[in-house]
């Protein structure tokens, strides 16, 4: 999904990458749709033990798709220190798979949410606004799986918010949707009792300074 032998990529390279992206998007979409359908039926009288096992398997597939996307991005290596692909490959990956990221982000499996947030953190310079809203969506969906109670989750979100306050304050000042997303994102971790999130929420008036 990052394939290219030259820059700019050849027509053959783009075809290979395009088919891979389309296949991954299709598989992810089918799995996410089935997950949503099962969740919608889970409170019905017809819900069975067999359905529960199917849901467990589908959830595993969604989680696996999240982790595969994380590793396929090439953003992280050796503990997340260095990219394994070039900047142009990296940017193409994000642009071409953004709709897939959006679809997967609606499913709140904590481990998958964490993988996607780790990946998106590296993509911030590519599209700060879209990445911020995607992270907020992930936190929102992750609440169903109690993602906000994970210590690593709190650390990541606090670091991301601090980065936006330092580097993209104008975005937060001028974009009402991002400000709402910021408040909702922090509220999830404040309600979970994380002191760092609580302290950061008190500093939000910095946005308007």
Model confidence over 160-208: pLDDT tens digits?
999 999 999 999 999 999 999 999 999 999 999 999 999 999 888 777 6
For the segment(s) 1-107, the CATH number from 3.40.1000, 1.20.58, 2.60.40, 3.10.450 is 1.20.58
Model confidence over 105-142: pLDDT tens digits?
999 999 999 999 999 999 999 999 999 999 999 999 99
Cβ neighbours for 98, distance < 8 A, ≥ 6 positions apart = 130, 134
**Tokens at residue 27, please?**
């598989």
pLDDT of res. 80: 47
CA 9/CA 13 separation, integer angstroms: 6
CA 118/CA 69 separation, integer angstroms: 11
Model confidence over 58-114: pLDDT tens digits?
999 999 999 999 989 887 654 544 556 788 888 999 999 999 999 999 999 999 999
pLDDT of res. 204: 84
Model confidence over 36-74: pLDDT tens digits?
999 999 999 999 999 999 999 999 999 999 999 998 988
pLDDT of res. 90: 87
- What b/e string do you get for 163-187 counting C-beta neighbours within 10 Å, with b at 16 or more? ebbeebeebbeebeebbebbeebbe
């Amino acid at each position: 999904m990052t394939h290219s032998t030259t820059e700019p990529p050849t027509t053959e390279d783009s075809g290979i990458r395009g088919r891979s992206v389309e296949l991954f998007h299709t598989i992810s979409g089918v799995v996410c749709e089935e997950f949503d359908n099962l969740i919608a039926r889970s409170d019905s009288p017809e819900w069975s033990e067999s359905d529960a096992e199917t849901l467990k398997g589908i959830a595993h597939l969604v989680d696996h798709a999240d982790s595969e996307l994380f590793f396929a991005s090439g953003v992280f290596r050796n503990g997340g220190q260095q990219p394994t692909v070039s900047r142009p490959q990296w940017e193409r990956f994000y642009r071409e798979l953004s709709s897939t990221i959006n679809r997967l982000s609606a499913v709140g499996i904590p481990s998958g949410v964490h993988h996607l947030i780790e990946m998106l953190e590296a993509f911030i310079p590519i599209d700060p606004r879209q990445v911020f809203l995607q992270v907020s969506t992930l936190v929102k969906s992750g609440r169903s799986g109690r993602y906000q109670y994970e210590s690593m989750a709190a650390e990541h979100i606090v670091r991301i918010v601090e980065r936006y306050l330092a580097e993209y304050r104008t975005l937060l000042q001028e974009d009402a949707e991002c400000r709402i997303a910021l408040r909702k994102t922090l509220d999830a971790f404040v309600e979970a009792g994380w002191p760092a999130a609580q302290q950061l929420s008190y500093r939000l008036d910095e946005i308007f300074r």
